[in-house]
Amino acid sequence: MRLPFFRRESRAPRAASRTPAGVNLKPRRMGFTLAAGYTRDWAHGDPVKTSFLNAVSCILPMGEDFFLQAMRAVREQIRDPQLAKDARAFCGQEGHHAFEHRKFNALLAASGYPRLADIDRVQDRINDWILRHTGAIDHVAFTAGAEHMTSIMSHAFLSDPLRWVDARSEIGAMLFWHTVEEIEHKSVCIDVLQHLDDSYARRMAGFALLTGILAGSVLVRQAYMLAADGHLSRPSTWLQLARFYLGRHADGRPGVLPLLFADYLQYLRPDFHPWEEDDRYLVAKWVQAFDAGRPMLDIDLRDYLGDARPAAQAA
């Protein structure tokens, strides 16, 4: 059985690669050793912030495995050589992300969250159901929606990284590397999707499905970790959660939904493309430092912050 939204066959190829010049997509092997920097509430001693970032990390490897399957299944159909090259680099980057986050997630599970594996098993079944009941291009539509979410979250992170992590932190270094690469490859999946099929309904259906699964996956894991640490029974935790998501968090910054909502909605526009937001300035300094061989491990993130938005882009 196939879901009704996804019955349409793909049309002739259209879009080519729209990754801008100067963005050199390539997989980077990092080899983080995360245990030394790990403490229970490693994100500023804040259980709500830490459990949110932990929950996001938990779902990344499974999501990235799905994205790899989706892209590999259609790569023979890509007729634009640059886009085919982008898709290979995308798979390489996501493969390394999954590898590093699995190490971090194993650390989490071993530190007192044994039921995370049970939640993962349920998620695996959901992913398998999606793979069995939808087609190859639908999987790319789902992945393109996920890449929009990771790119807007990465933009928010790189715009204010010290809100989330300490300046000298290997976990922070891992998130910095990951978010830089999410910005670099943010248009690859939507370019592949629109190269294979121009259906707006399919793109929106994939995004709707992704939104529901992403929200549920993060909230279930966050609630479990807060409960395991004895925080969830306290009314103050619920108040902090409400402020963290909806209003203004204890750190004085906007909650997650106010922070992301306008960027989230952009994806609903039929003519949307991720590089309308040219945020190469956020990644340039990190990439330059990496290419120059500067050490990424045990670093002060202040050395790697993005340059200020160029005047031409700010206009």
The Cα 90–Cα 189 span in angstroms is 9
Rank residues 49 and 178 by Cβ distance to Fe ion and give the closer one: 178
Region of 177-185, 219-227, 277-285, 295-303 interacting with Fe ion (CB under 5 A): 177-185
Interface with Fe ion includes 202 (CB under 5 A)?
Answer: no
Nearer CB in complex with Fe ion: 195/231 = 195
The stretch among 51-59, 175-183, 203-211, 223-231 that binds Fe ion (CB under 5 A) is 175-183
**By CB under 5 A, how many residues form the interface with Fe ion?**
4
**Terminal-residue alpha carbon distance, the chain:** 50
Cβ contacts of residue 117 below 8 Å, gap of 6+? 109
Q: Which is nearer to Fe ion, 100 or 170 (CB)?
A: 100
- Residue 59 is inside which H or E element, if any? helix 47-74
What binding mask, one character per residue, do residues 137-156 give for Fe ion by CB under 5 A, x or -?
Answer: -------------x------
Cβ-count burial of 245 within 10 angstroms (0-12 exposed, 13-18 middle, 19+ buried)?
A: middle
Which range in 94-102, 112-120, 133-141, 243-251 contacts Fe ion by CB under 5 A? Answer: 94-102
- Applying CB under 5 A, the span of 39-47, 80-88, 181-189, 245-253 interacting with Fe ion comes to 181-189
Residue 96 CA: distances (Å) to CA of 42, 65, 250:
23, 11, 34
Q: Which residues contact 278 (CB under 8 A, 6 or more apart)?
A: 20, 313
Cα atoms in the Cβ-side hemisphere of radius 13 Å centred on 28:
20
Q: Residue 293 Cβ, how far from Fe ion at the closest point, in Å?
A: 23
Residue whose CB is less far from Fe ion, 97 or 195? 97
Say if residues 65 and 99 touch (Cβ distance below 8 Å): no
Please name the residue that has the structure tokens 């990771």: 150
Kindly indicate which of the ranges 1-9, 20-28, 37-45, 90-98 contains the residues binding Fe ion, using the contact rule CB under 5 A. Answer: 90-98
Pick the closer one to Fe ion by CB: 63 or 135: 63
Q: Which is nearer to Fe ion, 20 or 258 (CB)?
A: 20
**One of 49, 88, 97, 249 touching Fe ion (CB under 5 A):** 97
Between 27 and 255, name the residue whose CB sits nearer to Fe ion. Answer: 27
Please report how close the Cβ of residue 94 comes to Fe ion at its closest, in angstroms: 5
- Which residues neighbour 128 within 8 Å (Cβ) at sequence distance 6 or greater? none
What are the angstrom distances between the C-alpha of 221 and each of 65, 97, 205, 245, 263?
Answer: 19, 20, 25, 15, 24
CA nearest to 111, candidates 73, 57, 174: 57
Instruction: Identify which of residues 146 and 226 has a Cβ nearer to Fe ion in the complex.
Output: 146
Nearest distance, CB of residue 28 and Fe ion, angstroms: 12
- The residue with its CB nearest to Fe ion is 97
Binding string, 257-286, against Fe ion, x = CB under 5 A?
------------------------------
User: Of 285, 56, 53, 259, which is closest to residue 169 (Cα–Cα)?
Assistant: 53
Q: Which token pair is 298?
A: 């045990």
Instruction: Tell me the β-bridge partners of 300.
Output: 168
Q: How far is the CB of 277 from Fe ion (least distance, A)?
A: 16
Q: How far is the C-alpha of 177 from the C-alpha of 76, rounded, in Å?
A: 29
Query: Which residues sit at the interface with Fe ion, rule CB under 5 A?
Result: 94, 97, 150, 182
